[in-house]
Amino acid sequence: MSTRTNIVRVIVAIAMLVATWAILGTAVAQRAAVPKSQDKLALGEPEVTQLLLLMDTDKSGKISKQEWMKFMEAEFDRLDKDKKGQLDVEELAQSKLRVSHPVNVGK
């Protein structure tokens, strides 16, 4: 009986090890599938570069406060469809920047 008991114990121990490895392997795979925070930042980098190119009128590679304000004023004017100097809910709902069309932002 003791030999059978030992065999059963070994089989149970092996089964527990295999189950533990399977659980740990699944957890590691799930963790690897979740993007890291820097990966999320890298996903938006092309859009940020496009914004920089649109706003940076003096081509310095940086956006000055004046360039920022000119761009935002032009964007506000574009969204203010009724030209009342205020944005309502409908106008703000369209506020996603559309890089596909040029915005008149000059010096």
CB 79 within 8 A of CB 95: yes
79 and 54 assigned to the same domain: yes
Question: Is position 52 within any domain?
Answer: yes
Q: Tell whether the torsion through CA atoms of 7, 12, 16 and 18 is positive or negative.
A: positive
Report field, pTM of the whole predicted structure over 0.75: no
Q: 46 and 27, same structural domain?
A: no
- Domain contains 6: yes
Residue 107 · residue 56 · CB < 8 Å: no
- What would the pLDDT profile of 71-98 be if each residue is shown by its tens digit? 888 888 888 888 999 988 888 877 665 5
With respect to residue 98, please indicate whether it lies within any of the assigned structural domains.
no
Give the total number of structural domains in the chain.
2
Distance of CA 100 to the CA centre of its chain: 20
Question: Which DSSP symbol is given to 64?
Answer: -
| Co-location of 85 and 48 in the same domain | yes
Comparing CA positions, the residue from 70, 93, 69, 71 lying closest to residue 81 is: 93
Pair (77, 49) in one structural domain? yes
Same domain as 51, residue 9: no
Distance CA 57, CA 55 (A): 6
Splitting the chain (107 residues) into consecutive groups of 10 residues, what average pLDDT does each group show? Answer: 72 74 70 62 75 89 91 87 87 64 49
Which residue range forms the structural domain that includes residue 30?
2-34
